Amino acid sequence: MVKIRLKRVGKKKMPYYRIIVADGRSPRDGKFIEQVGTYDPKAEPSVIKVDAEKVKKWLSNGAQPTETVKKLLKIAGVTE
């Protein structure tokens, strides 16, 4: 099963996330298929950058977003 989820990068106490498409069996920070966006929770306000075309393509192909990513996509205006 293919999932759209977050991959954590950045230093201790300074999280920065990449929104990626990955096989559901791979580890959180392991191999991934494609990067479709970024999320910076420490910025004020939080910064969410998403490539809407790629996300819609993956969602139409059956990729399942995690709960957190689903919320971020809704905030970014990619999904309803």
Q: What is the pTM of this model?
A: 0.89
pLDDT tens for each residue of 14-53: 999 999 999 989 988 889 999 999 999 999 999 999 999 9
Burial of 32 by CB count in 10 Å (0-12 exposed, 13-18 middle, 19+ buried)? middle
Helix (H) or strand (E) holding 65: strand 64-65
Number of structural domains (the chain) is: 1
Enclosing domain of residue 66:
2-76
Question: Is 90 exceeded by the pLDDT of residue 68?
Answer: yes
Here the CATH number for the domain that contains residue 40 is 3.30.1320.10
